[in-house]
Chains A and B, each alone.
Chain A
């Protein structure tokens, strides 16, 4: 382990010395820790010796995604090869107040933790505490809701999924799957949210390749009830569509299509287990479905990145993890969907290229205690 660290350092050093190496080639495990921008800057800290003390300053905890995220973190940290690198894992959920989350980070810095993971309440409010972390030599890994960089941070790694790419992926898939391409329904998320904006732009960019398609937009708020009603209304007004892209609330959207009784059409949706169950149950009747989503397992990638960076490995400052996607051809029971688990479980919870393969049993078994 130590020798390989040394070798990695030497290798990285040699590459830095030789100059003109692209950032990708020099960083550790580029398959999993893929740089968000090809020429993006990297982070490399002096190697420490594990096992490490890791903290997680969570904000809000009041929805299923956040709960599953915390369960995923515990499950991943309990895996034998991860557990041996961790001396202590401390998780605190402070609620929606920005100042309380800043204080939680300060507490972790004062208590001498090696790295702090954070799902931030604000993209900008953490500048001063990030400076204090940098001064104290504490690594910060933010994920899901990440920060706006000032450019001075040398101890900050950000892990997220490319929302625009996700919208584009779904658009491309619809384009290649729809039988006819005349009219498409787009069900958007919560208005004013940057994730909604990015997914929408990516989707439109993909659809723009075929200018003949007419796109109808409704707002579904990423919610099953709202989405179901919006789609039912759209179907009543417009007759039928050739395909649907919904950013969320996919179960409700699919039920609206089933209730309309006009036959199935291709639906590209989010990563809910219930949506994936519906796809599998009705694929033969024509429900061709594609499912990809913001994964609660981002937290596991963040932890993996923190451990690698503490070992002294070079990583991109901005990591865009691969989007966990599965469609009606590739869904596998027990791996990418879970027949005996509830519909609201986020099934998009595995990152095979990062060797993160957590099933529903692993995650739900870690009750969060």
Chain B
């Protein structure tokens, strides 16, 4: 990579890079203020809750890239949580089967969204609002009372660390390196971006629009169910909670925006959303180390969030075309 390549890369990824710098600054501050110094436990705690939101944010990013939105990602995660809590009590092969079944359920839920949005031609925001209610209803049937019996060793291993590196962080990196980077270069992956930036032009150029859009929703379901699986392992139980589903969905949208993905579609990616998710979570951690007074915490949280979003938006100030300001 020579100098001009680096400059081009920096220009194309200005918002994720800035967000990354913001996150690094916040996290270093958090670690520096740790009352008992940094331990593996500190990193594992930060990673577990960060990766959970990061996976939901990734799930949200794919539909957003196509110019849509998926309000059901939180509900799919809760559905996966409730399903997994009935499947992960055993050991050995049954665990593998349980994980596979949970991810398959996520794909099925995503497929349901795809049918409603792509072939049913419903507005994504309404269609997924309706399906989120359906998924929540199924969760409630699967688990009317909170509970569940999870294999302790399995849960502890996947929410612990490997040689000092949080296991959940390794899982997240695997998703980015083994799924996202190759996927982005495939025909379907490029189609996702094309549909989001100019659907008509993509259609005229022969991009198979329906296939790319449907894929985005199905993969979104799989990623959301992976997050639900992680929630099951962190909590070793499940609860059909509409509040939890809504909380995850909203925070995921916030993470997507902080990470530089445009809600109009076509611009952004999973890496930015992951950084956005970690920024959101670190704001909560800063409240902990800074000992902010309890009734000021929501205000404080909002101000940091606004600052983070504003910093990320600085590159947008440099318009290539003045007409874009009036879009």
Nearest Cβ distance between residue B29 and chain A, in whole angstroms? Answer: 15
A67 touches B45 (CB 8 A): no
Per DSSP, chain A at the interface is: mixed
B243 at the interface (CB under 8 A from A): yes
A112, B35: Cα distance in complex, Å: 9
B294 partner, pick from A99, A100, A128, A368, beta carbons under 8 A? A368
B293 at the interface (CB under 8 A from A): yes
A107 touches B288 (CB 8 A): yes
Chain B contacts with A in 253-306, Cβ cutoff 8 A: 281, 284-285, 287-288, 291, 293-298
B159 at the interface (CB under 8 A from A): yes
A125 at the interface (CB under 8 A from B): yes
The segment out of A87-95, A257-265, A308-316, A345-353 that lies at the interface is A87-95
Nearest Cβ distance between residue B196 and chain A, in whole angstroms? Answer: 29
Known: A92-B288, A107-B288, A110-B41. A126 touches B235 (CB 8 A): yes
Nearest Cβ distance between residue B300 and chain A, in whole angstroms? Answer: 11
Question: Contacts of B155 on A, CB cut-off 8 Å?
Answer: 128
A82, B262: Cα distance in complex, Å: 52
A92, B156: Cα distance in complex, Å: 25
Question: Contacts of A106 on B, CB cut-off 8 Å?
Answer: 41, 44-45
Question: Contacts of A93 on B, CB cut-off 8 Å?
Answer: 294, 297-298
A128 touches B248 (CB 8 A): no
A125 partner, pick from B44, B237, B284, B287, beta carbons under 8 A? B237
A104 at the interface (CB under 8 A from B): yes
Question: Contacts of B238 on A, CB cut-off 8 Å?
Answer: 124
B197 at the interface (CB under 8 A from A): no
Closest chain B residue, CB of each to CB of A58: B294
Number of A residues with CB within 8 Å of any CB on chain B: 38
Known: A61-B294, A107-B285. A124 touches B148 (CB 8 A): yes
B239 touches A122 (CB 8 A): yes
Nearest Cβ distance between residue B290 and chain A, in whole angstroms? Answer: 10
B95 at the interface (CB under 8 A from A): no
A103 at the interface (CB under 8 A from B): yes
Known: A122-B239, A124-B148, A368-B293. A96 touches B244 (CB 8 A): yes
Number of B residues with CB within 8 Å of any CB on chain A: 44
Question: Contacts of A99 on B, CB cut-off 8 Å?
Answer: 48-49, 52-53, 231, 234-235
- Contact string against B for A residues 62-102, beta-carbon threshold 8 Å, 1 for contact and 0 otherwise: 00000100110010000000000000001111111111101
Closest chain A residue, CB of each to CB of B241: A122
Known: A99-B49, A99-B234, A103-B45. A70 touches B285 (CB 8 A): no
A102 partner, pick from B53, B235, B247, beta carbons under 8 A? B235
A20 at the interface (CB under 8 A from B): no
Question: Contacts of B49 on A, CB cut-off 8 Å?
Answer: 99-100, 102-103
A122 partner, pick from B159, B235, B295, beta carbons under 8 A? B235
A148 touches B285 (CB 8 A): no
A96, B239: Cα distance in complex, Å: 13
A123 touches B146 (CB 8 A): yes
A367 at the interface (CB under 8 A from B): yes
Nearest Cβ distance between residue A81 and chain B, in whole angstroms? Answer: 23
A192, B165: Cα distance in complex, Å: 42
Question: Contacts of A122 on B, CB cut-off 8 Å?
Answer: 146, 235, 237, 239, 241
Known: A92-B288, A122-B237. A70 touches B244 (CB 8 A): no
Known: A61-B294, A61-B297. A128 touches B236 (CB 8 A): yes
Question: Contacts of B156 on A, CB cut-off 8 Å?
Answer: 128
B137 at the interface (CB under 8 A from A): no
A96 touches B298 (CB 8 A): no
Question: Contacts of B288 on A, CB cut-off 8 Å?
Answer: 90, 92, 104, 107
B322 at the interface (CB under 8 A from A): no
Closest chain B residue, CB of each to CB of A113: B35
B295 touches A369 (CB 8 A): yes
Nearest Cβ distance between residue A230 and chain B, in whole angstroms? Answer: 23
A111, B241: Cα distance in complex, Å: 30
A148 partner, pick from B53, B146, B159, beta carbons under 8 A? B146
A181 at the interface (CB under 8 A from B): no
B251 touches A97 (CB 8 A): yes
B35 touches A98 (CB 8 A): no
B248 partner, pick from A67, A97, A121, A126, beta carbons under 8 A? A97
A100 touches B235 (CB 8 A): no
Chain A contacts with B in 116-135, Cβ cutoff 8 A: 121-128
Nearest Cβ distance between residue B173 and chain A, in whole angstroms? Answer: 19
Nearest Cβ distance between residue B76 and chain A, in whole angstroms? Answer: 16
Nearest Cβ distance between residue B278 and chain A, in whole angstroms? Answer: 13
Question: Contacts of B52 on A, CB cut-off 8 Å?
Answer: 99
B45 touches A124 (CB 8 A): no
Question: Contacts of A97 on B, CB cut-off 8 Å?
Answer: 244, 247-248, 251
A94, B284: Cα distance in complex, Å: 7
Can you add 10 more A-B contacts, CB < 8 Å, to A110-B36, A367-B295? A61-B298, A92-B288, A97-B248, A100-B281, A107-B42, A111-B36, A124-B148, A124-B239, A368-B295, A369-B296
A-B contact pairs, 5 of them (CB 8 A): A58-B294, A61-B297, A122-B239, A123-B239, A148-B147
Q: Which residues of B contact A (CB under 8 A)?
A: 34-36, 39, 41-42, 44-46, 48-49, 52-53, 146-148, 155-156, 159, 231, 234-239, 241, 243-244, 247-248, 251, 281, 284-285, 287-288, 291, 293-298
Q: Which residues of A contact B (CB under 8 A)?
A: 58, 61, 67, 70-71, 74, 90-100, 102-104, 106-107, 109-112, 121-128, 148, 367-369
